Amino acid sequence: MTTLPQPNVLKIMVIDDSSTIRRSAEIFLTQAGYQVLLAEDGFDALAKINDHHPSLIFCDILMPRLDGYQTCALIKRSARFHATPVLMLSSKDGLFDRARGLMVGSSAYLTKPFSKDSLLSAVREHTADTVSK
């Protein structure tokens, strides 16, 4: 008997150049029942976002080629994905970094290293509307 994909399972993308961060997030989110999409940088993410339509995106700030601020700004400028919540991930926790994230359209800011609880709490908070539809 084959199991069909569940249409109610949320797709969550994690964009981070650190394989450790990507793997940690993937484990936490998969254990919680989410479908996880991974990207190493902004360019990789933009191609995958168009193909997979994630419900929520976690985006590292410091990445090569296209940083998190630029990636978030491009997602938010897209007519198709402007409503998708983008949560910034960073080891920096300064007011300037948080403000810059908000300026490019991010919904929240999560400091690394994040815990399983803080990651899942952020998902629940920013996908409540998606789940209730």
Q: Domains of the chain: which residue ranges?
A: 11-125
* Stated pTM of the model: 0.90
Which pLDDT does position 6 carry in this prediction?
Answer: 56
Q: Where are the beta strands (DSSP E) in 17-74?
A: 35-39, 56-60
Which pLDDT does position 25 carry in this prediction?
Answer: 97
Residue 28 pLDDT > 80, yes or no? yes
Count other Cβ atoms within 10 Å, centred on residue 130.
Answer: 14
Question: Which position has the token pair 């609880």?
Answer: 117
The reply to whether omega before 85 is within 30° of 0 (cis) is no
Dump pLDDT digits (tens) for 57-71. 999 999 998 999 999
Average per-residue pLDDT for the chain: 90
Task: Tell me which of 1.20.810.10, 3.40.50.2300, 3.30.300.30, 3.90.1150.10 is the CATH number of domain 11-125.
Answer: 3.40.50.2300
The reply to whether omega before 7 is within 30° of 0 (cis) is no
